[in-house]
Amino acid sequence: MEIWLNQSSSDDFVLLGIFSHSSTDLVLFSAVMMVFIVALCGNVLLIFLIFMDPQLHTPMYFFLSQLSLMDLMLVCTNVPKMAANFLSGRKSISFLGCGMQIGLFVCLVGSEGLLLGLMAYDRYVAISHPLHYPILMSQRVCLQIVGSSWVFGIIDGLIQMVVVMTFPYCGLREVDHFFCEMLSLLKLACIDTSIFENVIFACCVFMLFLPFSIIVASYARILRTVLHMHSAQAVRKALATCSSHLTAVFLFYGAAMFIYLRPKRYRAPSHDKVVSVFYTVLTPMLNPLIYSLRNREVMGALRKGLDHCRIVNHH
């Protein structure tokens, strides 16, 4: 830590960013900022509703509030710095700032991936074993699921941050990205980082396929249960709760697999930057929308909250 704090300003990194100052890019930058604001408001609102409404004090919504918290932290890790650099014309980021971005980003993406996987198990228990649900998804189990997701992400983030920031960097220190993305940073290291990159690849495979296998196994069981249901209404209800989760899963895993599981020779910085915008800004915006607009309980809580505000204002 001492070494990192003593780094001089000449050790700053330069973030090349994703936007130039052309009129097209100004429109794109404005669009990203709009998405950022919607993501910020949507996730804060969802956390607030889940916290305030007793009807939403169930395991599914507890997991959802944690997912929203992760999304909220994820958009705040990279977007404000990108916006500040774009608007001020400065492109630098300090050595410590870069390390923190890597640590937070890896931690949040890892935690969110695992939580999405474990949320599939929650849906499986709710649909396939509804009578045992309160026992199988007790408060203790819910806290263990969320706690393990956070701990897993934090350990992963810390390890990768420490290793990446202990490599020596030389040359222009220009990161071809809009935030300190680890793979973009490793290209600037003065030493051969191929062993570490292979370890990271193995970690990514594990981190993506462990939750993904939980999701596939859970949904295979859910499908089996749904096929044996005799009531059309029960089938509709089961599919409705699953479709929100599946949409969130495909958005998150699709983007993550595209970036981290492609062979090196097929990687282009321009593609990676666009896909990174997708799951650092767009997915956090879509998650609360996917879960709230398609969900009667959340919309009911929102209406209740708005009615309460109206009554207070009239008095």
Average of per-residue pLDDT across 8-22:
76
Residues in the chain: 315
Q: What is the pLDDT of residues 101-111, one digit of tens each?
A: 999 999 999 99
Which of the four pLDDT bands, split at 50, 70 and 90, describes residue 312? low
Q: What is the pLDDT of residues 246-267, one digit of tens each?
A: 888 888 888 777 777 777 666 6
- Where helices occur in the chain by DSSP H, the ranges are 2-5, 23-52, 59-88, 95-128, 133-136, 139-166, 182-186, 194-227, 232-260, 269-277, 283-293, 296-314
Output the six-digit token pair for 160.
């990768």
CA–CA distance, 280 with 278 (Å, rounded to integer):
6
Which of the four pLDDT bands, split at 50, 70 and 90, describes residue 72? very high
CATH code of 12-290, in short, is 1.20.1070.10
- β-partners of residue 93 are 13
- What pLDDT shows up at residue 315? 60
Output the six-digit token pair for 27.
């429109």
pLDDT of residue 8 exceeding 50: no
CA–CA distance, 106 with 98 (Å, rounded to integer):
12
